[in-house]
Amino acid sequence: MAKTEQKYPKSEEGRLVKFLATDGLVLAGFFVQARKSKGCMVFVHGMTSSFYSGTLSFALADSLKKEGYSTFIINTRGHDIESWGKKFRNGKAESIRIGTRYERFEDSKCDIGGAIKFLESEGCSRIILCGHSTGCQKILYYQLKARNPCVSAMIFLAPGDDHNVAKNKYGKRMHGMILKAYKSSRHKIIDQDEIGFSAERFLSIADPERAEARLFNFDGELKEFGSIRLPAFVALGEKDEWSIKSPDECSDILKMKTGSSSFKCVIVDGADHSFHFHEEILCREISRWLKGLSIVA
């Protein structure tokens, strides 16, 4: 199949939105609304990404709109490598450092919670959570903590095993870096690579006891993933450059661990971590899966 360029939705097909995380942080997103919506997908990006980067989220929004689903593509406070955000607390505004480098993973539940509150104000009562890469950990963590009854299904696209990626990258240095991070201030830069993780962010992926490191550790027990009973869809790229195991191994592990009431895992032939040039195939698989579910707004 010839590679085709994925086009972004036209501006009139959606609108830019500012919304508040539940802890008062101002965030932004792009809301594509379907008529007589069957439900709404919240798309959560991965590390260093954002609602405006890449093509995958927009391809999904276009595809799902044709099926009668709205899509809210959001920024979390981990958007881009480093940024500044405005947070409102007790009637006062303060500027805080955010971005992948400085975010506290556990705060992502506030971002997703705020996005869902916005959708509720728009009349959306049935939510599909969709995460890409580290966004998979974030949607899983949110639902584990919130147990939000409005969430009807979950979609995990190229879930990233960030802990084992870090182990492979840092090797014998990792133990010493963990000790250094625990002795450092939260925002101290521990790693001088292209991201430059702060101590807080580094420990989140490096310490196997931390939630982010544990949730999609394919060498671990995946208890949290197995506790989710909602319908769940997982897509893996056959040529995922960040995967620490083969897609077949990952698929077998997830199928064994899942407790989902309706689980499907697909491997997209030839696809990389972001499903570049394979968005159309992925969208078809997701649409086919959704048609088998009873998600009605």
Going by pLDDT thresholds of 50, 70 and 90, the confidence category of residue 152 is very high
pTM strictly above 0.85? yes
The per-residue pLDDT for 37 is 85
Q: Which letter, b or e, does each residue of 15-43 get, where b requires 16 or more Cβ atoms within 10 Å of its Cβ?
A: eebebbbbebbbbebbbbbbeebbbbbbb
Predicted pLDDT of residue 140:
98
Q: What pLDDT does residue 296 have?
A: 43
Q: What does the pLDDT read at residue 167? A: 94
Residue 159, Cα to own-chain centre: how many angstroms? 8
The pLDDT assigned to 36 comes to: 83
1 versus 285: the higher-pLDDT residue is 285
Predicted confidence (pLDDT) at residue 87 exceeds the cutoff of 50: yes
Compute, in degrees rounded to 10, the torsion defined by CA atoms 13, 64, 265, 52: 10
**Window from 14-28, 181-195, 263-277 with minimum mean pLDDT:** 181-195
- Which pLDDT score is estimated for 116? 98
295 pLDDT above the threshold of 60: no
Q: What is the pLDDT of residue 2?
A: 43
Q: What is the pLDDT of residue 8?
A: 56
Question: What pLDDT, on the 0 to 100 scale, is given for residue 24?
Answer: 96
* Each residue's pLDDT tens digit, 160-177: 999 999 999 999 999 999
> 178 and 165 in contact (C-beta within 8 Å)?
no
Q: Give the integer Cα–Cα distance in Å for 74 and 42.
A: 7
Asked if residue 12 has pLDDT above 70, the reply is no
Model pLDDT, residue 221: 96
Categorize the per-residue pLDDT at 7 as very low, low, confident or very high, splitting at 50, 70 and 90.
low
Beta-bridge mates of residue 267:
236
* 69-78, 96-105, 286-295: least confidently modelled range: 286-295
β-partners of residue 235 are 157, 266
For the chain, the domains span 11-161+221-291, 162-215
The span from the CA of 274 to the CA of 171, in Å, is 26
3-class secondary structure, 267:
strand
Hey, is 246 helix, strand or coil? coil
Assigned fold of 11-161+221-291: Rossmann fold (3.40.50)
pLDDT at 9: 53
Give the DSSP letter string of 175-238.
HHHHHHHHHS-TT-B---SSS--BHHHHHHHHSTTSHHHHHT-TTS--HHHHH--S-EEEEEET
